[in-house]
Amino acid sequence: MILGIIADDFTGATDVASMLVRAGMRTVQVIGIPEGPAPDADAVVVALKTRTIPAADAVAESLAALGWLQNAGMQQCYFKYCSTFDSTPAGNIGPVTEALLDALGAPFTIACPAFPENGRTIFRGHLFVGDELLSDSGMRHHPLTPMTDANLVRVLQSQSRRSVGLIRYDTIAQGVAAVRDRIAALQRDGFALAIADATTNDDLRTLAAACADLPLLTAGSGLALGLPALYADRGWLVPDAQAAALDPAPGRAAVLAGSCSTATNAQVQRWRDAGRPAFAVDPRALARGEAVAEAALTFARTQGDEPVLVYATASAADLQSVQAELGAMQAGALVEACLARVARGLVDGGVRRLVVAGGETSGAVVQALGVAQLRIGAAICPGVPWTQAEGVATGSPLQLALKSGNFGGPDFFDEALRASTAA
Ligand code: ADP
């Protein structure tokens, strides 16, 4: 194993794995920390669900994942978080990064959530989502991790004991040597962490090359795109053109949406506008103890082979009102548990291709299905590959597309289903 990645949610894990597979790195995503030995792969992504849990628990789980990756012989470690730097106000990115630095005996690392292909860029330490500052984007309404400050130096500093500096775009434009000089200067000045600007994939490649010798990288998925070429240059990696090949997956398909992100709202709307079969999950009915999952499964059965959408996706206003009534965490947990039950029921009923929208939602679904690991296939859109579940006794291949809420265009659900039929 060359690269060991610790991802703080499940869609984030598939996102970064997709980046590596695209560059010919054989990559396996494991769900949680495996009991047994590491799979045979160039990179292994340990998918945790630590983004929104208490910081102390996130640290403990991340350190356990690190220990397992170290035992498996990892050469470099990568802590993967969301391209919108999602964290609770108590903040897990800082505490986990610092714990990993301590455990690795490393004095310095960078933090760079940029993913330019998906419109996430960082300029002078400020994160943009498309043309908007993070704090003006839909992320300010996120159900669990509302992001109200686009200044990432400030956000990371508020979560960290060590000092946080900045590697600015004009340094990155000067190339690898200038970035290395900047990192040395930051360390001399007492900084152990630095937000790195990046507005293009070339910036990310420069950064990756400048940080090639750091024991720990922390980033969104974008930084990973520069790594396989570096490993190949060192003679560690022979890129594999078949790295993204999956088995054909005949069987029915379905879509589950538990994200309230802007992109998922548009995708659900597009599906409903087209008159496709859709079942809405009402969190208030869940709180009243109604059998919502069973009703969704009954609805799905009446649609025959037609793919159904089961969604909890709501507008910012509806979400706010439900959260005020039920509590944000409580409402989220009810919805996640419901969608996880629906996923289990759909797969028991013969569904073999499942599109899931939402990071936390994907985590709940994958856990409910008992998936042990995922082989990573070709990308449907930047950041979202089809994956093949391993360790589930379904008799025929089970494939999952785990989509971070804000990824994909309005037709994503259909694009995913078409791509899977072609597989
Ligand atoms: P994203 O990838 O957009 O962040 P997630 O699945 O990670 O999506 O997070 C969305 C959270 O919001 C989940 O915990 C989900 O259960 C919750 N949620 C979804 N729909 C609703 C709703 N209508 N009311 C309250 N919470 C909801």
Retrieve residue 289's tokens: 């103890």
Pick the residue whose CA is nearest to atom 10 on ligand 1. Answer: 259
Ligand 1 centroid to 293 CA: how many Å? Answer: 16
Structure confidence at residue 137 (pLDDT): 94
Q: What percent of the chain has pLDDT over 90?
A: 88
| Closest atom, ligand 1, to C-alpha of 406 | 3
Q: How far apart are CA 288 and CA 285, in angstroms?
A: 5
Indicate if the pLDDT at residue 72 is higher than 60: yes
Q: What percent of the chain has pLDDT over 70?
A: 99
Instruction: Round the average pLDDT of the chain to a whole number and report it.
Output: 95
Structure confidence at residue 248 (pLDDT): 86
Pick the residue whose CA is nearest to atom 26 on ligand 1. Answer: 332
What H or E segment, with its residue span, contains residue 21?
helix 10-22
For range 149-153, the mean pLDDT = 97
Q: What is 141-166 written as a DSSP string? A: G-SS------BHHHHHHHT-SSEEEE
Domain positions in the chain are 3-233, 252-419
| Closest atom, ligand 1, to C-alpha of 312 | 20
Structure confidence at residue 395 (pLDDT): 80
| DSSP code, position 137 | S
Instruction: Give the burial string for 324-355 (b: 16+ CB within 10 Å, else e).
Output: eebebeebbebbbebbbbbbbbbbeeebbbbb
Other Cβ atoms less than 10 A from the Cβ of 266: the count is 16
Ligand 1 centroid to 361 CA: how many Å? Answer: 7
Q: What is the pTM of this model?
A: 0.88
For range 18-45, the mean pLDDT = 92
Ligand 1 centroid to 294 CA: how many Å? Answer: 20
Structure confidence at residue 393 (pLDDT): 81
Q: How far apart are CA 134 and CA 154, in angstroms?
A: 13
Indicate if the pLDDT at residue 317 is higher than 90: yes
CATH topology of domain 3-233: Rossmann fold (3.40.50)
What H or E segment, with its residue span, contains residue 417?
helix 412-422
Q: How far apart are CA 210 and CA 411, in angstroms?
A: 38
For range 204-224, the mean pLDDT = 97
Ligand 1 centroid to 413 CA: how many Å? Answer: 17
pLDDT tens, position by position, 333-392: 999 999 999 999 999 999 999 999 999 999 999 999 999 999 999 999 988 999 999 878
Q: How far apart are CA 412 and CA 210, in angstroms?
A: 35
Cβ atoms of 312 and 257 within 8 Å: the answer is yes
Report the pocket of ligand 1 as residue ranges, CB < 6 Å.
Answer: 142-144, 258-261, 283, 312, 314, 319, 322-323, 331-332, 335-336, 358-361, 404-406
pLDDT tens, position by position, 291-313: 999 999 999 999 999 999 999 99
With a CB cutoff of 8 Å and minimum separation 6, the contacts of 108 are 101, 183, 186, 187, 191, 192, 193, 194, 214
Ligand 1 centroid to 260 CA: how many Å? Answer: 6
Same CATH fold assignment for domains 3-233 and 252-419: no
Pick the residue whose CA is nearest to atom 19 on ligand 1. Answer: 258
For range 221-249, the mean pLDDT = 93
| Closest atom, ligand 1, to C-alpha of 359 | 7
- Cα–Cα distances (Å) from 397 to 13, 48, 352, 400, in that order, read 20, 23, 7, 10
pLDDT tens, position by position, 38-59: 899 999 999 999 999 999 999 9
Longest dimension (CA), the chain: 66
pLDDT tier, 82 (very low <50, low <70, confident <90, very high otherwise): very high
Listed residue (416, 408, 400) closest to 47, CA to CA:
400
| Closest atom, ligand 1, to C-alpha of 261 | 3
pLDDT tens, position by position, 157-205: 999 999 999 999 999 999 999 999 999 999 999 999 999 999 999 999 9
The three state secondary structure string of 361-393 is HHHHHHHHHCCCEEEEEEEEECCEEEEEEECCC
Ligand 1 centroid to 289 CA: how many Å? Answer: 19
Structure confidence at residue 421 (pLDDT): 61
Superfamily of structural domain 252-419:
Four-carbon acid sugar kinase, nucleotide binding domain (3.40.980.20)
Test site for ligand 1: of 81, 279, 335, most ligand atoms within 8 A of the Cβ? 335
